[in-house]
C-alpha cells in the first residue's frame, strides 16, 4: 500500500461508498439539488427587558427596538449538495470542531479545494453543517438564554493547540513564527485560516446534541466524518441512533463518551475509524485529550465492534496537523485511502458492492496501528 498523505487522510472517509473509480476535481459535477435547512431548536419567550432606540446604519432615523417576545434558538444550519447520479450508498455528513464552522470542509485557507469538493467529485451527496451557536446557526442572548458569555480563540492558541508549531512558537509577526519541521499545514495561509474562528460557548452541549440527533433523524442513514470537539457529538449521535449512523470517521476527536455510562455494545454494527496526525507527543494538551477516545475505542473493540486506529506517523506519513483536512498533503493519492478502509471492515456500510474476499490490508492496518 502506497504511504502518501491522503492515503490516511482519506482513509478517514471510510471508503464512503466509493466503490468506483475516483473522480478528479477537474471534472464537472452533475448536481441535482443545492439547498439548506435548519434543524432542532426551540422557542423561547423573553419579557421584562428594557427597550431602546437604535439607528441601524449611518444617517438612519432611530427605531425603537424591543428585545422582548418569542425567539427561535438552539437550531443548527445545514447545507447540502445532492448529485444527479450519486455513486455512494449513503450521504456523507461533515461535522466541524470547536470554535469553527462548516467552512472547515469547504475551500482550504490556501485556496485549494477542500474535502466537501473532493467527496462530491468522488460520488457522494454531501451535507455540511454549522452547529448550534456557530456560523449561520447563530447564537442567542446571554445570560437570558445561553448561560455564559462566549469565548474566542486567539491565533496563538490555534497555532500551538493545532500543532502547527510547538509550544511558545507563535509570534504576531508571521515571519517570526516557528512551525514544526516538515509541517503539512500551509503556513503562509495561517492568518487566512484564523479568520474562520467564531465565538463559542462551553455551556451548550445538551442543546447541540439534541440538534445533531434531530439532524441524523432527518437525513440518515448516513456516514459521518467528524473533527475534534465534534467527535463527542458524533459518537453520541451513533449511540442514540445505531440504525441510522452507518459509520463514524473521527479526525482527532478531543473527547468521547464514558464506556461505563453508555451502551457500547450497540456500536457493534457501526464501524468507527480514528485518525491521528503528527506531534501528539509534543503537545501536553493532546496527551490528555487522547485518553477518552482511546478508552472508548478499546471498549468498542472489546464489545465485538470495528474501531480502527490510524496513527499517520506510524504509517510513514509525517507532518499532519490537527487540521489535516487543510494540510497540503490532503489532496494526494485519494484513491488508496478508500480502498484501504473498505478492507478495514466498513465496506458493507458504505457500498452497494459486496465486500472482497479476504482482508489482508485490514489485518495489516490493525497490526501496524495497535
**Residue 120 — very low, low, confident or very high, per pLDDT cuts 50/70/90?**
very high
CA–CA gap between residue 349 and residue 89 (Å, rounded): 8
Residue 249 pLDDT exceeds 50: yes
**What is the model's pLDDT at position 25?**
54
CATH number at residue 332: 3.40.50.1820
The reply to whether 15 falls in a domain is: yes
- The pLDDT tens digits for 41-63 are 999 999 999 999 999 999 999 99
The reply to whether 222 falls in a domain is: yes
- The pLDDT tens digits for 138-186 are 999 999 999 999 999 999 999 999 999 999 999 999 999 999 999 999 9
- The pLDDT tens digits for 283-340 are 999 999 999 999 999 999 999 999 999 999 998 889 999 999 999 988 653 332 333 3
β-partners of residue 77 are 38, 130
The reply to whether 344 falls in a domain is: yes
The reply to whether 52 falls in a domain is: no
The residue range of the domain holding 101 is 5-42+69-369
**What is the model's pLDDT at position 26?**
61
The reply to whether 60 falls in a domain is: no
- Whether residue 368 is preceded by a cis peptide bond, meaning omega within 30 degrees of 0, is no
- For every residue of 181-233, DSSP letters joined together read TT--S-GGGHHHHHTT---B-SS-HHHHHHHHHHHHHHH-SEEEEEETTHHHH
Residue pair 13/123 in contact (Cβ under 8 Å)? The answer is no
The reply to whether 239 falls in a domain is: yes
- The pLDDT tens digits for 180-219 are 999 999 999 999 999 999 999 999 999 999 999 999 999 9
- Strand 222-227, strand 92-95: pairing: parallel
CA-to-CA separations, 266 to 12, 254, 345, in angstroms, rounded: 22, 22, 17
The reply to whether 58 falls in a domain is: no
CA angle 200, 215, 75 (to 5 degrees): 45
CA-to-CA separations, 166 to 157, 208, 315, 322, in angstroms, rounded: 11, 32, 22, 13
| Sign of torsion over alpha carbons 231, 232, 233, 237 | positive
The three grid cell numbers given for residue 32, joined into one nine-digit string: 441535482
CA-to-CA separations, 105 to 46, 51, 151, 264, in angstroms, rounded: 36, 40, 23, 29
How large is the angle between the packed helices 230-240 and 205-219, nearest 10 degrees? 50
**How many Cα atoms within 13 Å fall on the side-chain side of residue 152?**
8
Residue 348 pLDDT exceeds 60: no
CA angle 33, 35, 36 (to 5 degrees): 155
Domain count for the chain: 1
The reply to whether 112 falls in a domain is: yes
Measuring CA to CA, which residue among 345, 337, 343, 349 is closest to residue 312? 337
pTM: 0.87
DSSP H stretches of helix in the chain? 5-9, 115-121, 155-161, 190-194, 205-219, 230-240, 284-289, 291-302, 336-341, 347-350, 360-369
The mean pLDDT of the chain is 86
β-partners of residue 116 are none
β-partners of residue 251 are 227, 275
Residue pair 87/29 in contact (Cβ under 8 Å)? The answer is no
Amino acid at each position: 500500500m502506497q504511504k502518501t498523505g491522503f492515503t490516511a487522510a482519506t482513509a478517514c472517509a471510510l471508503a464512503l461508498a466509493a466503490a468506483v473509480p475516483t473522480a478528479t476535481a477537474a471534472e464537472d459535477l452533475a448536481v441535482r439539488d443545492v439547498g439548506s435547512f435548519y434543524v432542532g431548536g426551540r422557542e423561547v419567550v423573553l419579557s421584562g427587558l428594557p427597550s431602546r432606540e437604535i439607528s441601524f446604519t449611518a444617517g438612519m432615523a432611530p427605531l425603537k427596538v424591543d428585545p422582548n417576545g418569542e425567539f427561535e434558538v438552539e437550531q443548527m444550519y445545514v447545507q447540502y449538495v445532492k448529485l444527479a447520479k450519486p455513486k455512494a450508498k449513503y450521504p456523507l455528513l461533515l461535522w466541524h470542531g470547536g470554535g469553527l464552522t462548516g467552512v472547515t470542509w469547504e475551500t482550504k485557507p490556501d485556496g485549494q479545494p477542500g474535502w466537501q469538493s473532493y467527496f462530491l467529485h468522488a460520488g457522494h451527496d454531501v451535507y455540511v453543517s454549522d452547529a448550534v451557536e456557530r456560523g449561520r446557526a447563530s447564537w442567542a442572548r446571554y445570560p437570558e438564554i445561553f448561560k455564559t458569555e462566549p469565548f474566542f480563540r486567539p491565533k496563538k492558541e490555534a497555532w500551538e493547540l493545532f500543532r502547527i508549531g510547538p509550544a511558545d512558537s507563535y509570534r504576531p509577526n508571521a515571519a517570526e513564527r516557528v512551525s514544526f519541521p516538515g509541517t503539512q499545514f500551509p503556513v503562509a495561509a495561517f492568518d487566512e485560516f484564523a479568520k474562520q474562528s467564531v465565538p463559542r460557548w462551553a455551556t451548550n452541549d445538551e442543546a447541540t446534541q439534541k440538534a445533531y440527533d434531530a439532524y441524523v433523524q432527518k437525513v440518515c442513514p448516513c456516514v459521518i466524518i467528524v473533527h475534534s470537539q465534534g467527535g463527542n457529538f458524533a459518537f453520541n449521535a451513533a449511540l442514540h441512533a445505531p440504525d441510522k449512523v452507518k459509520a463514524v470517521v473521527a479526525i482527532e476527536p478531543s473527547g468521547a463518551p464514558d464506556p461505563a455510562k453508555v451502551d457500547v455494545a450497540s456500536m457493534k454494527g457501526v464501524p468507527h475509524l480514528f485518525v491521528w496526525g503528527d506531534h501528539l507527543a509534543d503537545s501536553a494538551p493532546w496527551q490528555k485529550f487522547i485518553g477518552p477516545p482511546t478508552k472508548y475505542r478499546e471498549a468498542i473493540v472489546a464489545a465485538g465492534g470495528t474501531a480502527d486506529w490510524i496513527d499517520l506517523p506510524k504509517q510513514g506519513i509525517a507532518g499532519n496537523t490537527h487540521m489535516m483536512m487543510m494540510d497540503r498533503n490532503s489532496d494526494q493519492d485519494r484513491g488508496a485511502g478508500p480502498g484501504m478502509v473498505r478492507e478495514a471492515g466498513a465496506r458493507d456500510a458504505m457500498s452497494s458492492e459486496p465486500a472482497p474476499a479476504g482482508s489482508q490490508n485490514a489485518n495489516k492496518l490493525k497490526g501496524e496501528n495497535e
